[in-house]
Amino acid sequence: MNDKEFIVNKIKIRACNFYQNMLWQPPGKKARAYLIRRGVNFDTAKSLSIGYAPGEQSLRQHLEAMGLDISLALDSGLLRFDKNMNISDFFNDYIIFPIFQGSDIRTFTGRKVTTDPEERMKHLHLKRAQKQLYNYNIIEKSNVVMLVESPFNAISLIQWDYPAVATLGANSFNKAHAKLFSKKVIYIIYDNDENKSGQRAALKTAKILFSEEKINPYIVTMPVGVDINDYYLSHEKKDFMLEILSTKRRLTDIPEFKRWMIEETRKAFRPKYKVTKNTEDIALVQTIPIADIVRLFQISMTKYGDDYKAICPLPMHREKISSFTVYTQTNTIKCFGCGFFGDGIDFVMQMKNIGFIEAIKFLKGKFFLTHGKEKTNGYAGTEV
Ligand SMILES: [Zn+2]
């Protein structure tokens, strides 16, 4: 860390302390009342270092009084030039949520203290805040994480002792975030608004987790028009468990996601078929229903809607639960234990430890019987 970064960091710490002080002083009265309305306990507010920014030039004066370099405070974004070209505070009349990484303060996000529904700047993020997750320090400490939108939703769950992390704004979840969740059990709990924006954001987040980290999250939908914070205010934790969490579905059981996966699978496999010379053979073995290929290896499967589940038979994977899923519509297999994903050819390659061309020959031999020199055209459905 260079000198400048060191001072910017110091400014953030000073600002955080200032905001926290303000919350519990007379200027924070309105903000405290607002926190009560949103069901935030004062103990929680203290443990999460929540504060209040009165605004105008109050932070500026505080930093100046501490002898800190105001130009570097401009760098941090906490101070800015107002329309009269005076240096003043970025946050004016906002509840302040600091975002920590370890014990360092990364950035801040704010919620305007207002009940006016016309207010346009309800949520205000300091620069780069949208690239952060609120309360993400908890991820390291927990194997289960609940992913929600907005700090207030997260805080409601935290007060019910759930490990909750919030995205700041719809569609802010990215690949770098996904890495943090590797090998965790994830619940994505989204608001069910009329315009479906919560649903779209949840699905987008889920797709990133699925494609980057092979995570098959649980998806939980809130009742229409009731966000987690609303629900918290009028219910008990046991209601949340019985009414809300119990409706969880695996991402891979959601029709909209299945359709997306079919498209992705097609895209992923198209180039592979183009580069080989045996396109006719590949097309031929592709017509074999994948469940028949799995049955070839005496693997017992359980029907699961259109699909099948089984104990993963792959040599590299030993398991007791059925993570191995056979998708009949896409003719693909996905194992949520070892991460295997592929079509019948990929599956045979793994099972028999053979190459691509060999696997095609094997499948041709098993399913397309040759009678003398004549070949049948198409899948013969042979018993093995
Ligand atoms: Zn497996």
Is the domain of 143 the same as that of 243? yes
380 part of a folded domain: no
**In the block, which residue shows the tokens 């939108």?**
149
Q: Residue 144: give its domain's CATH number.
A: 3.40.1360.10
Is the domain of 106 the same as that of 167? no
Which tens digits make up the pLDDT trace of 60-96?
A: 999 999 988 888 889 889 999 988 889 999 999 999 9
pLDDT value, residue 292: 94
Is the domain of 24 the same as that of 56? yes
Q: How many domains does the chain have?
A: 3
Ligand 1 center from residue 339 Cα (angstroms): 6
| Residue 154 to residue 137: CA distance in whole angstroms | 13
pLDDT value, residue 152: 96
Cβ–Cβ under 8 Å, residues 307 and 317: no
> In terms of residue numbers, what domain contains 184?
132-252
pLDDT by residue for the chain (384 residues), tens digit each? 678 888 888 999 999 999 999 999 999 999 999 999 999 999 999 999 999 999 999 999 999 999 888 888 898 899 999 888 899 999 999 999 999 988 889 999 999 998 777 777 788 999 877 788 999 899 989 999 999 999 999 999 999 999 999 998 777 899 989 999 998 999 999 988 877 888 888 999 999 999 888 899 999 999 988 999 999 999 999 999 999 999 999 998 888 888 777 777 666 655 454 445 567 778 888 889 999 999 999 999 999 888 999 999 998 888 888 999 999 988 999 998 888 888 999 999 989 988 888 888 899 888 885 544 444 444 544 443
Is the domain of 224 the same as that of 320? no
Count of C-beta atoms within a 10 Å radius of residue 255: 8
Is the domain of 221 the same as that of 292? no
**Cα distances (angstroms) measured from residue 62 to each of 4, 6, 70:** 19, 19, 10
140 part of a folded domain: yes
Is the domain of 217 the same as that of 237? yes
Is the domain of 137 the same as that of 55? no
Is the domain of 154 the same as that of 275? no
Is the domain of 248 the same as that of 141? yes
| Residue where one domain finishes, among candidates 79, 114, 129 | 129
Q: Residue 278: give its domain's CATH number.
A: 3.90.580.10
Q: Residue 106: give its domain's CATH number.
A: 3.90.980.10
| Residue 178 to residue 208: CA distance in whole angstroms | 7
Is the domain of 37 the same as that of 91? yes
124 part of a folded domain: yes
295 part of a folded domain: yes
What residues pack around ion ligand 1 (CB closer than 5 A)?
312, 314, 317, 335, 337-338
pLDDT value, residue 356: 84
| Residue 181 to residue 139: CA distance in whole angstroms | 7
Q: Report the run of H or E that residue 257 belongs to, with start and end.
A: helix 255-275
Ligand 1 center from residue 145 Cα (angstroms): 23
Ligand 1 center from residue 302 Cα (angstroms): 16
Ligand 1 center from residue 2 Cα (angstroms): 47
383 part of a folded domain: no
381 part of a folded domain: no
Ligand 1 center from residue 367 Cα (angstroms): 25
pLDDT value, residue 199: 85
Is the domain of 101 the same as that of 147? no
Residue 134 C-alpha from the chain's centroid: 13
Ligand 1 center from residue 69 Cα (angstroms): 57
For the record, the structure tokens of 19 come out as: 């905001």
Ligand 1 center from residue 309 Cα (angstroms): 11
Cβ–Cβ under 8 Å, residues 134 and 144: no
Ligand 1 center from residue 68 Cα (angstroms): 57
| Residues 6 or more apart whose Cβ sits within 8 Å of residue 270 | none
| Residue where one domain finishes, among candidates 112, 129, 146 | 129
pLDDT value, residue 339: 81
| Residue where one domain finishes, among candidates 193, 223, 252 | 252
Ligand 1 center from residue 341 Cα (angstroms): 9
Is the domain of 239 the same as that of 309? no
180 part of a folded domain: yes
pLDDT value, residue 35: 97
| Residue 16 to residue 9: CA distance in whole angstroms | 11
Residue 330 C-alpha from the chain's centroid: 24
pLDDT value, residue 267: 64
119 part of a folded domain: yes
| Residue 21 to residue 345: CA distance in whole angstroms | 64
**pTM listed for this prediction:** 0.70
